[in-house]
């Protein structure tokens, strides 16, 4: 399952400072992402070097970004960061809930009593996710755990 259930791909990416990426998506969405905290993880330590970090480029078919040293981040991960960077934490929380449980648009719609189309709007960040829907996600999750 693609995180956002759409063929959104990375169109352009460039380093905009230490740990900061400027990214443009195929749907026109643009964001500045602070990925500095990720640079402390072992696979990304080389990217603390500003020259290496600046060598970022879109991966094959725009489904990731990569660096010449071999480090790579998936488009799904970057889209979640983009949602937060653009003030769409509601959409990020909804999408993470779906991903955590492996729910397709149809299964999420059935679980919440929503239309598949509305679930797609929420997942793509096209419409704000109402607080009662986010609470329903938590309730569904608690019910599954019981």
Please indicate, yes or no, if residue 73 is contained in any of the structural domains. yes
Q: 84-115: per-residue pLDDT in tens?
A: 999 999 999 999 999 999 999 999 999 999 99
pLDDT of residue 51: 94
Put residue 22 in one of left, alpha, beta given phi > 0 → left and psi -120 to 50 → alpha: beta
Please indicate, yes or no, if residue 5 is contained in any of the structural domains. no
16 and 81 part of one domain:
yes
pLDDT of residue 111: 97
14 and 78 part of one domain:
yes
Query: Distance between CA atoms of 136 and 67, rounded to whole angstroms?
Result: 40
Please indicate, yes or no, if residue 42 is contained in any of the structural domains. yes
pLDDT of residue 47: 93
% residues pLDDT > 90 (the chain): 84
110 and 46 part of one domain:
no
| Structural domain boundaries enclosing 66 | 10-85
pLDDT average, residue stretch 48-76: 94
Rounded to an integer, what is the distance from CA 44 to the centroid of its chain?
18
Please indicate, yes or no, if residue 57 is contained in any of the structural domains. yes
pLDDT of residue 6: 63
8, 27 Cβ separation under 8 angstroms:
yes
How would residue 43 be classed by pLDDT, with cut points 50, 70 and 90? confident
Please indicate, yes or no, if residue 3 is contained in any of the structural domains. no
Please indicate, yes or no, if residue 104 is contained in any of the structural domains. yes
pLDDT of residue 78: 95
pLDDT of residue 69: 87
Q: What is the tally of structural domains in the chain?
A: 2
Q: Give the closest residue to 92 by CA, choosing from 138, 139, 114, 124.
A: 124
77 and 93 part of one domain:
no
The structure tokens 């400072």 sit at: 17
């Amino acid at each position: 399952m693609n995180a956002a259930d759409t063929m959104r791909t990375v169109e352009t990416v460039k380093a905009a400072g230490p740990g900061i990426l400027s990214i443009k998506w195929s749907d026109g969405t643009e964001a500045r992402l602070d990925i500095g905290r990720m640079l402390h993880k072992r696979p990304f330590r080389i990217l603390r070097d500003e020259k290496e970090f600046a060598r970022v480029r879109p991966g094959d078919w725009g489904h990731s970004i990569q660096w010449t040293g071999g480090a790579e981040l998936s488009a799904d991960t970057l889209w979640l960061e983009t949602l937060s960077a653009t003030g769409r934490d509601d959409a990020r929380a909804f999408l993470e809930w779906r991903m955590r449980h492996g729910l397709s648009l149809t299964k999420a719609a059935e679980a919440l009593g929503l239309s598949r189309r509305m679930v797609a709007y929420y997942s793509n960040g096209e419409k704000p996710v109402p607080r009662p829907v986010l609470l329903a996600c938590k309730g569904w999750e608690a019910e599954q755990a019981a």
